[in-house]
Chains A and B, each alone.
Chain A
């Protein structure tokens, strides 16, 4: 089930296989006179559509951030949602980060994400390396194990039963082990490893390097881009994981941030003084608190995203699947 839940995340790139051969120069850089002058109406229309598309993404974030920083008077004046902030009030952040439900969930989510991503990357890179030489013993059956897992994950109920049989219910490992190796990611990394110039690997072997040394000294250092992208996928998967936690963790004190977000933001449950660590008797407005939780859950993604984003579409993702 978890694999199925994960799959849409990589479905886009999954279908594109071949390295893209990026355009080296912009094809209209030396714009041929044959194209004629672009009409100003057309350019205006393009600008409007693009601006609208970007606004639809950006405006909600701006509003959420502004509201999380607003005080009671301002929220009342705006009728609930503040789009343009006047002044910065950090009371909502202080309330949710000073201990209590949200702080605990944040720590849990950070730990699960860090440990999970590290283990996932290690297991994925190792498996991909193990499958990267087509003449190795057992290559075909092992590859089949991976490829079939790309195509179909098991259903919700059988997955639940397996996790239960292994005694993982209510354990943080239930959030990691079932999704630790994503077969599609293995295929992507393997394809990348196989594209590495064979001369380099051969040269290392001639110099006396064994398979471990080749992996550690040659393959991994050359594969930083693909590992960064796959690492982002895993990290985002762990950070965003909501349904597995709902399914496998009955103990609400173990809930990660996404479930807390669901409780207090989506389901609109009020967060009381009991749920925060602050001793003060009055809380900032609920709307501000809700938006602060939302912002906190967004920050890690926004921090990592720019560093990895430039690798998208550089053939790392679009150059994947090979039998």
Chain B
């Protein structure tokens, strides 16, 4: 073991600095290699978007086809357009419905006086976040499916049953309900933290000035949350093209493609399942690039609004 050298009086050569920091470099090595191989190297695989990829010919052996694979996007292939439309509809629904709920929950929780009750409720509401989508989907089937708890109850009481699971016309609403059940509690964590940072004196001052509970929420709590709300909303919009892939793959069989295909499942079904590699890679590439632009744009917008972005303090 060498002791860390005292701060250099003069510049050291690169070699000396590498020697000095060799432990740190060595420590970083495995993680960096894994990231390079599994996060960066795949981008090279996108060349097949410009090729007629045949697995038995390999990436190098497959012929170049220029932009032919991108035609589904520019010519508006119906299957692609359907996937895009579903993706955007689901995003819209989730921004409108899923986004406000954790805020409301956090406000409700923050208004509790007992710390102990607060912690208990939090523990219960966080929990579904740690369950897999397979479990969440199974739970919803058991509750709302045709043989599930709700319909069993309705049937034994001679009431009309409801068709929720496997019903294409309410599929997007079902997806939204599942996201709410799984993640509303967990998303609350940030809002709860932000609320706990609000100066208690502000509430008291507002109360002294005659503000009731609702007005205190409106004039003290919500302004305290504004920064985080703006930030999360912008980030969510930056991810507009990505919606619950695993969740949808699990349930697609029951409702059909028309109502359930989104961009990610389109890439998966078309490419890996049906062997149309080039087209799927092209759609995946464009989706990735547009997504990248949206994230960067969203981050910029956040900075412009005076909020912190995602990768900068």
Contacts and interface: CB of A to CB of B under 8 A. Distances in A.
Contacts of B143: 60, 63
A83 to B, nearest CB: 7
Contacts of B295: 151-152
Given A54-B125, A156-B284, A242-B134, A130 B1 contact: no
Contacts of B277: 157
Contacts of B39: 3, 149, 153-154, 183
Interface string B40-57: 111111101000000000
Contact of B264 (A42, A53, A156): A156
B312 A137 contact: no
Contacts of B284: 155-158
A210 interface: yes
B167 to A, nearest CB: 16
Contacts of A117: none
A265 B189 contact: no
B134 A157 contact: no
Contacts of A290: 138
A317 B197 CA distance: 15
Interface residue tally on B, bucketed by range: 35 or more
A160 B45 CA distance: 9
A3 B113 CA distance: 39
A99 interface: no
A268 B311 CA distance: 44
A115 interface: no
Interface string B10-35: 00001001101101111111111011
16 contacts: A13-B190, A16-B193, A21-B197, A28-B200, A57-B124, A83-B149, A129-B27, A133-B21, A133-B24, A137-B20, A138-B21, A152-B292, A155-B281, A208-B3, A211-B4, A323-B312
Given A34-B207, A53-B105, A149 B40 contact: yes
Contact of A127 (B31, B105, B108, B133): B31
A266 B141 contact: yes
B82 interface: no
A155 B235 contact: no
A240 B131 contact: yes
B215 to A, nearest CB: 12
Interface stretch (B70-78, B85-93, B168-176, B244-252): B244-252
Contacts of A13: 189-190
Given A145-B32, A258-B134, A266-B141, A155 B24 contact: no
B159 interface: no
The 10 closest A-B pairs by CB, nearest first: A130-B28, A127-B31, A210-B1, A158-B45, A240-B132, A154-B42, A27-B200, A155-B284, A211-B23, A158-B42
Contacts of A180: 34
Interface in A260-314: 261-262, 265-267, 290-291, 294, 297-298, 301, 305-306, 309, 312-313
